[in-house]
């Protein structure tokens, strides 16, 4: 997948697949892959794979819903996931930009690159690349990029044991 793209694979009843970097090792091209697993809300799903390029949407720096099983995102450009309780937001705010991430009963914020300050529920956290922040009932999060940043935020409306 090229930068700015998202792939969604649904294993369903079982799949066989392989993963690899399309660039050769000698090219010196850097690769960053973020792979996350989301449990489905139903069993017996058909195996499926889809990908989409979100580069144009991400260019504005605001959060973009790129994958969701939530009813309010049905019919949007987000890739459909088989979990009605979760939505994945990506954002690439430039230095100095402040964005707002949605309130959620459970949240998981991961900073891919850059540096940000996160304010929520009266607390402030400074994040560096590779840092993660989990939230529980904190309301909306205000994120200010002190450097050009790239972040991933899972908005979850149920715990894993649903």
Q: What is the pLDDT along the chain (162 residues), one digit of tens a residue?
A: 777 888 888 877 777 777 776 777 777 777 777 888 888 888 888 888 889 999 999 999 999 999 999 999 999 999 999 899 999 999 999 999 999 999 999 999 999 999 999 999 889 999 999 999 999 998 999 999 999 999 999 999 987 664
How far CA 90 is from CA of 22, 76, 133, in Å, comes to 23, 15, 15
In this structure, what token pair is assigned to residue 146? Answer: 């002190």
pTM of the prediction?
0.90
Nearest to 150 by CA among 136, 131, 135, 134: 131
β-pairing verdict for 64-68 and 79-80: parallel
How far CA 100 is from CA of 89, 91, 110, 118, 143, in Å, comes to 11, 10, 15, 10, 6
């Amino acid at each position: 997948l090229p930068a700015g793209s998202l792939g969604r694979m649904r294993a369903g009843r079982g799949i066989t697949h392989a993963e690899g970097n399309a660039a050769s090792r000698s090219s010196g091209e850097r690769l960053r892959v973020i792979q996350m697993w989301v449990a489905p809300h139903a069993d017996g799903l058909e195996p499926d794979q889809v990908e989409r390029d979100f580069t144009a949407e991400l260019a504005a720096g605001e959060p973009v819903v790129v994958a969701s099983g939530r009813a309010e995102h049905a019919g949007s450009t987000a890739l459909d996931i088989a979990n009605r309780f979760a939505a994945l937001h990506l954002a690439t705010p430039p230095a100095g930009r402040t964005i707002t991430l949605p309130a959620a009963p459970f949240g998981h914020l991961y900073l891919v690159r850059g540096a940000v300050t996160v304010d929520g529920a009266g607390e402030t956290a400074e994040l560096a690349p590779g840092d993660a922040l989990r939230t529980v009932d904190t309301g909306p999060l205000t994120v200010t990029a002190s450097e050009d940043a790239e972040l991933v935020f899972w908005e979850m409306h149920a715990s894993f044991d649903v």
